Amino acid sequence: MKRSALVLVACLAQTLFLILLNGCGAGTSIASDSGPISETAGMMSGKLHGGLNPIVGATVTLYVTANNGYGGAAVSAATATTDSNGGFTFVLPSNFSCPSGQFAYATSYSGNTGSNSTNNNSLLMIPIGACAANYSGQTYTGPFLWMNELTTVASAYALGNFMTIINSGSSPVVNISAPANNNSASPCISNGSTCATTAAGGLPHAFANALSLVNIATGQPNTTNSHSGVLPAAEINLLGSIMQACVNSSGVTGSNSATSNDGSSCGKLFSLTTPPYSGATTPATTLQAIIDLAKYPNPQIATWSSTCTAAGSGTTTSTSCLFGLATGVGAAYPSALASAPPDWALAVVYPKGAGAVTGAACSGTCPGLTYPYDLALDISDSVYVTNNNSSAQTWANVVAFAYDGTPLWSNAEDTINNNIKNIATDGIGHVITADNGHGTTAGANGQFIKVLNSTTGALLTTITAAQGYPYCVITDPFNNIWFGVAYPAVTNLYEISYTGTVSNIPQYSPVSFTSQPVAAQNLYQISIDQNLNVWAVGSTSTNAAAYMFPNTGTVAAPTYTGTLKSVSTTSATISGANYSVGMAPDGQGNAWMTTFSGLIQIQTSGSGNASALTAVAPVTVGDNGARFVEVDSARTVYVGDYANGTAVGGVVAYDTVHSLSLGVYKGCLLNGNACGTTSTNAAVYGGRGVAIDSSGDIWVGSSVTGALAEFIGTGAPTWPALSLANFSAPQ
């Protein structure tokens, strides 16, 4: 028998099995077409479902990504139409190409799921993955594809930063693309020898995230990844059920906006997911609605009418309206959350203990996550976490993970350098930590800057702080180390110049300045902006201040011959803004500082030694106890929300472009059939350090729960290595 005939027999057998199992026209949320299956050369097959029902007569399109910028034109490779069972087969054309370094994905548009008419608001998607892993020439070698709302949720959250939807012609065009310098299989910072161009791996990492969230052969969400990460499967099921209310309908019946809708399931979905800024476009397809929800997971309009058709006219919350779409359509995906989550962010949680390794260097086991404090990323999106045993800090170490949560290394418990606070990476393979110590004499009990090998965690060199207790640390594009100290004796902002490497050991030399930068407060976070000005936030128990040490030279040859600039929050008569441990520049010449009274913009005027700082009255964001600050390429400010360590925390978000507070992203860690709300089962509880990677994922350490959370696709793609001092999206 010919191979094509064997495939036909297999497909008929699968169809008969579905009919016997489900009855005519009704599928199941547990796919029976699990792959991989054999494919005829040049062909690839799949199934399309809306919840329990096959989608009939839909247009299915196969795409291949390209390096045409963010959301630029992708390649439409083939199309197919679904049959009465939702089945489809792509016949790949003779000129089909899926080049190494690019990725495949498929979408479905329109169709109907039974008694409803054709739904032109239904747009679903499935990630397929790397070309090299799924194609051999024109032969598809990947799994059978099961496309549904769940694969769409995974795609929208993980890949939305690289996607645009063009609603024109007979079918929407869904483009996924990235600049070449954010689509690297081997991310690298150009240093004249290792690589010629600085490049990140945002698009490959985003596809890996999508495929980690969902099994594309079964259409079901995964509950854990292969690296101990707990995945938000129940929340994905809930989002799928919400989508199904629209997909298994006839679509909209009238006009819809951010404040009103036509009462249809699709109309409600589109109103409730409209981005919250003025002039935002209301979604017109299910895929766009979930992309918008991923980017703005806290609905901003507080209340709706009881029918969820008019905003501000009742007491029903936006979250309840969205949740009601799921409960109104039956158990399409029965493993969904039984109650609404605190927000719609998808968090992958690496629990307490993750990252522990066994080896001779540890005399047993090097500790995993216990009490995470601060985070730093390198150009590969690897995550380095400062880790203590508890708030008492009797030992400390560093735990390292790859972009996908794979444990890289953990070093041994250090009971001498036992108060590691800040952490940074440089451009030549080093991780740098600041140890605040507990002694009274510099170097007596910690108080070191330590330089580690980023691949192994091995200690390469230790630099003793001449004065005070190192708390914050950063590196610049020339691999120089800058650090600030708490409880200073004389000077509290230092530079140590990188002078080269001898026998694999980096060499450094202290730098003296014309005017030594002496702050009036203890310094807690240090950053370097795009002009290579050095920023630091200082605080005492009664006062907080922002400091900027201006670059008086050029970006190519920086010098620091001027004086330290500062502004006190009390000088700006900002009530209650008397304590801060976090501040970061925004790439526009300003910085954002967090206090217990809110987020304060620090504006600059002038340049070089003529620079001056002004503090603007705070905007209210998040809860009390906000910690470290980072800013993404879209100029959204993110703050670790500690919530005083007594309530569920998360990540505070503030959109500086639209002057819009986006609330606190808390995510969901399943506890029973609901989201955990205690110090032992919440996704984030005691949030401190934050970091944004090249895919737009936001990482936050949770000190009280001892966990590390990754919010998928909620931020914007950003250069992950702060040493680059580049605040734009990777290009």
pLDDT surpassing 50 at residue 582: yes
pTM passes above 0.95? no
Token pair of 229 as six digits: 């990460």
Tell me the per-residue pLDDT of 467-485, one tens digit each, with 9 for 90 and over: 678 889 999 999 999 999 8
Tell me the per-residue pLDDT of 606-634, one tens digit each, with 9 for 90 and over: 999 999 999 987 787 765 567 899 999 99
Sole residue written with tokens 């795409």: 63
51-65, 246-260, 381-395, 640-654: least confidently modelled range: 640-654
pLDDT surpassing 60 at residue 35: no
**pLDDT confidence band for 448 (50 / 70 / 90):** confident
Q: What's the mean per-residue pLDDT of the chain?
A: 88
Share of the chain above pLDDT 90, in %: 70
Averaged over 362-375, what is the pLDDT? 89
**pLDDT confidence band for 438 (50 / 70 / 90):** low
566 phi and psi, to 5 degrees?
-155, 160
3-state secondary structure of 394: coil
* pLDDT at position 413: 87
Sole residue written with tokens 């070191």: 448
Could you tell me if 453 and 433 are in contact, meaning their C-beta atoms sit under 8 angstroms apart? Answer: no
Q: How far is CA 37 from CA 32, 43, 208, 217, in A?
A: 12, 12, 22, 10
Could you tell me if 611 and 550 are in contact, meaning their C-beta atoms sit under 8 angstroms apart? Answer: yes
* pLDDT at position 4: 36
pLDDT surpassing 60 at residue 94: yes
3-state secondary structure of 245: helix
pLDDT surpassing 60 at residue 443: no
Averaged over 75-83, what is the pLDDT? 96
pLDDT surpassing 70 at residue 447: no
**Residue 311 to residue 289: CA distance in whole angstroms:** 18
Averaged over 142-154, what is the pLDDT? 97
pLDDT surpassing 80 at residue 643: no
pLDDT surpassing 50 at residue 338: yes
**pLDDT confidence band for 491 (50 / 70 / 90):** confident
Q: Which amino acid is at 701?
A: G
* pLDDT at position 576: 54
Q: How far is CA 637 from CA 65, 118, 662, in A?
A: 30, 42, 10
**pLDDT confidence band for 488 (50 / 70 / 90):** low
Is the peptide bond prior to 36 cis by the omega test (within 30 degrees of 0)? Answer: yes
**Residue 685 to residue 674: CA distance in whole angstroms:** 16
* pLDDT at position 622: 62
Tell me the per-residue pLDDT of 158-191, one tens digit each, with 9 for 90 and over: 999 999 999 987 899 999 999 999 999 999 999 7
Could you tell me if 127 and 219 are in contact, meaning their C-beta atoms sit under 8 angstroms apart? Answer: no
**pLDDT confidence band for 27 (50 / 70 / 90):** very low
Beta bridge partner(s), residue 166? 173
**pLDDT confidence band for 684 (50 / 70 / 90):** very high
pLDDT surpassing 80 at residue 71: yes
**Residue 251 to residue 292: CA distance in whole angstroms:** 18
Q: How far is CA 663 from CA 621, 650, 723, in A?
A: 6, 10, 29
**What is the layout of strands, in order, in the sheet containing 347-350?**
347-350, 707-711, 698-702, 687-692
**Residue 271 to residue 255: CA distance in whole angstroms:** 10
3-state secondary structure of 578: coil
Tell me the per-residue pLDDT of 102-131, one tens digit each, with 9 for 90 and over: 999 999 999 999 878 999 999 999 999 999
Averaged over 275-302, what is the pLDDT? 92
Tell me the per-residue pLDDT of 184-210, one tens digit each, with 9 for 90 and over: 999 999 976 678 899 999 999 999 999
pLDDT surpassing 80 at residue 502: yes
Averaged over 218-225, what is the pLDDT? 95
Averaged over 675-694, what is the pLDDT? 93
**pLDDT confidence band for 3 (50 / 70 / 90):** very low
* pLDDT at position 625: 60
3-state secondary structure of 233: helix
* pLDDT at position 360: 63
- The DSSP code for 230 is B
65-79, 240-254, 563-577, 654-668: least confidently modelled range: 563-577
Could you tell me if 210 and 159 are in contact, meaning their C-beta atoms sit under 8 angstroms apart? Answer: yes
**pLDDT confidence band for 489 (50 / 70 / 90):** low
* pLDDT at position 29: 30
**pLDDT confidence band for 393 (50 / 70 / 90):** confident
Q: How far is CA 702 from CA 330, 478, 491, 560, 708, in A?
A: 36, 32, 32, 37, 6
* pLDDT at position 419: 83
**Residue 277 to residue 258: CA distance in whole angstroms:** 10
Could you tell me if 617 and 602 are in contact, meaning their C-beta atoms sit under 8 angstroms apart? Answer: no
**pLDDT confidence band for 39 (50 / 70 / 90):** very low
Nearest to 252 by CA among 225, 230, 223, 284: 284
**pLDDT confidence band for 15 (50 / 70 / 90):** very low
Q: Which amino acid is at 388?
A: N
**Residue 656 to residue 726: CA distance in whole angstroms:** 18
* pLDDT at position 238: 96
pLDDT surpassing 80 at residue 13: no
145-149, 194-198, 293-297, 556-560: least confidently modelled range: 194-198
* pLDDT at position 19: 33
